[in-house]
């Protein structure tokens, strides 16, 4: 064991399935320990954009994603190592069920030696609670499940029955009450964003109090987080590295959309752009009159369909973005950012709104999910990875530059377009997966001649 390793108490909060209450419990834990004067760093498993913002409000510190498939082991290791250097406690919220997917919560926890705490929804069960806990503890040999919390519990008698059902070796850490005031509102892409909720601070403090009153919360034992052995995650370090000394984006200003309509962006993307030398200028397509003075533009995903009137009626901003794109300045548009650039966007209710018409095509919101999964694309000789999750269907009259494809049996695909130096797709790209391509993109050096021919299109 190297003396350079970092040690910090850590806990991986998981569950048998989605909708078990993980986000509420992790946010409550982060606020509980923050209120005790502890510095808490929180991570979210998977490519989720919404849950980490709740954790940032709860902990008062940036929250990041951890995903072996999208980010790779080294960057995940670098994140945990950096957090362990400065935090009193690391909390990780799992994704879906504990064993779901090749890069499951169980496998991620095992990879880094982090003990698991399972949140089991128990509103409609009794002794079966113990059977579920036993299955979570023993389904894989590499799992270290030290305890469980019962969620949505009806009474102290119900809690005692659940505790009695547990086999030896699995700690009962408490029972959270069935309380509608602890529920979080949802919409089609997940929870309503934390920054949109009035009274979020009161909610967090109430959740932390309920947790403290109902559960036993000793700090877990410290975990050893090893120093990363290679420098593929070096952009996360505060120590300069030779691989990024050149800073190809030095002197470049990137305008990044950030408001209620456009908020789905990985913190690592911004960190990478800054380490490549760029300066970030945030702006609001809803509230601002025009783009800031910038060399390039980044329109991340979000909820433009919920803010169509405000976006379409901000004529000066629309013209500012149109001029930027028509002049050939580099632009990256992801999912909702791409919808904003189309000619029209139609809601599920059939109401159509004129958009920027910077890309030729239209889109319509659907009742059902249209795309979900991890994808990668070969773009101008470089491979970049990302994730998509969207409820709209688009009709874009361009030949794609590339096809982003999902590995495995499902083989979901998304088209990637290049138009007037604008790279657009449904994919939320994880930019650190291809720093060289990112540099070329924001310098306007992608080659339109590389576009696929019609026979290659999906």
In angstroms, the Cα distances linking 34 to 61, 91, 161, 272, 371 are 10, 12, 32, 28, 37
User: Helix, strand, coil shares of the chain as percentages rounded to 5?
Assistant: 30, 30, 40
| The two structure tokens encoding residue 41 | 């760093």
CB neighbours of residue 201 within 10 Å: 12
Are the C-beta atoms of 46 and 67 separated by less than 8 Å?
yes
Are the C-beta atoms of 54 and 22 separated by less than 8 Å?
no
Burial 407-430 (b: 16+ CB within 10 A, else e): eeeeebbbbbbbbebbbbbbbbbb
Sign of CA dihedral 12, 16, 18, 19: negative
Has 335 been annotated as catalytic?
A: yes
| The two structure tokens encoding residue 80 | 């945990």
Per the DSSP assignment, residues forming a β-bridge with 417 are: 424
Give the relative orientation of helices 22-35 and 51-59 as an angle to the nearest 10 degrees.
20
Q: Which of the residues 76, 173, 318, 335 is marked catalytic?
A: 335
| Gap between the Cα atoms of 264 and 335, Å rounded | 9
Are the C-beta atoms of 224 and 7 separated by less than 8 Å?
yes
Are the C-beta atoms of 303 and 285 separated by less than 8 Å?
no
Are the C-beta atoms of 33 and 89 separated by less than 8 Å?
yes
Give the relative orientation of helices 22-35 and 200-214 as an angle to the nearest 10 degrees.
90
3-state secondary structure at position 182: helix
In angstroms, the Cα distances linking 367 to 350, 364, 390 are 12, 10, 11
3-state secondary structure at position 286: coil
Sign of CA dihedral 160, 161, 166, 167: positive
CA angle 437/442/341 to nearest 5° reads 110
CB neighbours of residue 243 within 10 Å: 13
- Backbone phi and psi for residue 81, each to the nearest 5 degrees, phi listed first: -65, -45
Residues 6+ apart with CB under 8 A from 378: 402
Catalytic residue list: 335
């Amino acid at each position: 064991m190297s003396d350079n390793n970092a040690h910090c108490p850590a806990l991986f909060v998981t569950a048998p399935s989605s909708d078990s209450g993980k986000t509420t419990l992790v946010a409550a834990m982060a606020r509980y320990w923050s209120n005790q004067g502890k510095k808490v760093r929180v991570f979210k498993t998977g490519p989720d954009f919404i849950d980490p913002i709740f954790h940032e409000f709860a902990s008062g510190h940036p929250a990041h994603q951890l995903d072996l498939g999208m980010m790779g082991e080294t960057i995940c290791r670098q994140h945990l190592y950096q957090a362990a250097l400065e935090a009193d406690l690391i909390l990780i919220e799992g994704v879906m069920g504990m064993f779901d997917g090749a890069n499951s919560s169980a496998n991620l926890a095992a990879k880094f030696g982090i003990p698991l705490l399972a949140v089991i929804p128990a509103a409609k069960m009794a002794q079966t609670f113990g059977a579920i806990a036993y299955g979570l503890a023993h389904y894989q040999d590499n799992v270290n499940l030290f305890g469980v919390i019962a969620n949505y519990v009806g009474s102290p008698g119900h809690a005692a029955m659940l505790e009695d059902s547990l086999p030896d070796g699995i700690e009962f850490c408490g029972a959270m009450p069935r309380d509608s005031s602890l529920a979080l509102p949802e919409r089609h892409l997940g929870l309503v964003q934390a920054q949109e909720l009035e009274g979020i601070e009161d909610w967090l403090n109430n959740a932390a109090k309920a947790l403290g009153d109902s559960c036993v919360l000793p700090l877990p034992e410290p975990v050893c987080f090893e120093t990363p052995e290679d420098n593929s995650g070096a952009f996360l370090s505060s120590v300069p590295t030779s691989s990024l000394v050149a800073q190809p984006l030095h002197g470049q200003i990137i305008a990044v959309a950030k408001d209620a309509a456009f908020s789905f962006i990985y913190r690592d993307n911004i960190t990478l752009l800054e380490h490549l030398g760029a300066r970030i200028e945030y702006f609001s397509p809803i509230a601002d009159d025009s783009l800031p003075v910038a060399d390039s533009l980044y329109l991340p995903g979000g909820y433009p369909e919920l803010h169509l009137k405000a976006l379409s009626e901000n004529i000066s901003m629309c013209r500012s973005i149109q001029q930027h794109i028509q002049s050939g300045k580099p632009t990256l548009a992801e999912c909702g950012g791409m919808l904003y650039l189309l000619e029209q966007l139609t809601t599920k209710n059939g109401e159509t709104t004129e958009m920027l018409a910077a890309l030729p095509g239209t889109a319509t919101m659907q009742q059902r999910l249209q795309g979900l999964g991890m994808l990668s694309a070969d773009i101008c000789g470089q491979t970049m990875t990302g994730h998509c999750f969207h409820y709209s269907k688009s009709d874009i009259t361009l030949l794609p530059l590339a096809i982003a494809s999902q590995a495995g049996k499902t083989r979901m695909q998304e088209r990637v377009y290049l138009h007037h130096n604008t790279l657009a797709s449904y994919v939320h790209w994880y930019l650190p997966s291809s720093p060289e391509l990112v540099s070329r993109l924001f310098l306007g050096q992608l080659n339109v001649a590389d576009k696929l021919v019609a026979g290659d299109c999906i």
